[in-house]
Amino acid sequence: MNTHQTEALVIRNQDFGETDVLLTFLTRGAGKIRGILKSGRKSTSKMAGTCQALNRLNLTYYAKEHADLSKVIRVEMLESHDNIRSDLARLAWSSFYLEMLLRSTAEHEANEELFEAASFYLGVLEKAASPEVRNLSLFHLIRLMQINGFAPLMSQCVRCGKSRPLHRVREQSVFYLDSRKGGVLCSSCRKKAPYAKDIHELSPLGLIFLEKSMSLSPAEMEEELSREDSPKELLDYLVEHSKYQLETDFKSLKFLKAFTEGTY
């Protein structure tokens, strides 16, 4: 059968032709897919309001084998996340998350862990206290990187391969991360690195937050998220790291910059 039903998150919608809408979904059963909502831009469309970015819904679609685009047949709202849309800071963080999700996820590759992680993030972002939004979002951005296979390498120097002693973090005043190479640098390689603009300094607190985000579950990180904000330079590094690893720029960064002190 060419008709499929699955749970889905709307991660992007775009105008398509004169009256249609091109939708990108992250689905539980089929991974990232794209579908056309016929006449979705007409005022008479009954499904257009349900098919807004951030919404979680039950999706029924028609897809021919090997076709690039599907046809949206029916949608049923599960969660609208209106509280995210009504708060500009939450909307900015979620927009960056969805764009990174869009850029880093291959089409038609089912990944239930990724779907659960994205759904969980939007659910907790909807209800989180305002002071927790930054740490919460950073944690889930790092978790997204890890699930999709482009997280920073932290156990050894990305240039010489020298192992880093993981138990001595607080004994070192600053750590170096190379966004071009994708991970931590030892002090010797830092001095020889050819592209100084790609080297980022991170405090012990920033490094601890990064490593905990890559090793703890969301429940285990709950206590960390309620503490003071992670260092600003951690977001700067994660942005540049993602740009290099995914070979793309992010349009949502200008929006996010309005609610952070990051420099992009």
Q: Give the residue extent of every domain in the chain.
A: 1-80, 87-264
What whole-number percentage of the chain has pLDDT above 90? 70
> What is this structure's pTM?
0.93
Between CA 262 and CA 126 the distance in angstroms is 23
- Annotation: CATH topology of 87-264: de novo design (two linked rop proteins) (1.20.1440)
Average pLDDT on 233-259 reads 94
- Annotation: CATH topology of 1-80: OB fold (Dihydrolipoamide Acetyltransferase, E2P) (2.40.50)
pLDDT of residue 169: 66
Could you tell me the pLDDT band of residue 226, with boundaries at 50, 70 and 90?
low
H-only helix segments in the chain: 82-85, 88-104, 112-127, 133-147, 187-192, 204-213, 222-225, 232-246, 253-257
Give the mean pLDDT of the chain: 91
Between CA 24 and CA 36 the distance in angstroms is 9
Average pLDDT on 22-42 reads 95
Between CA 247 and CA 131 the distance in angstroms is 32
Could you tell me the pLDDT band of residue 166, with boundaries at 50, 70 and 90?
low
Between CA 166 and CA 168 the distance in angstroms is 6
Identity of residue 217: S
Over 50: is that where the pLDDT of 20 sits? yes
Could you tell me the pLDDT band of residue 170, with boundaries at 50, 70 and 90?
low
Neighbours of 128 (CB within 10 A): 18
**With contact defined as beta carbons under 8 Å apart, do 152 and 141 qualify?**
no
Average pLDDT on 69-82 reads 96
pLDDT of residue 229: 64
Average pLDDT on 175-182 reads 94
Over 50: is that where the pLDDT of 34 sits? yes
Neighbours of 105 (CB within 10 A): 19
pLDDT of residue 90: 96
What whole-number percentage of the chain has pLDDT above 70? 94
Over 50: is that where the pLDDT of 263 sits? no
pLDDT of residue 264: 41
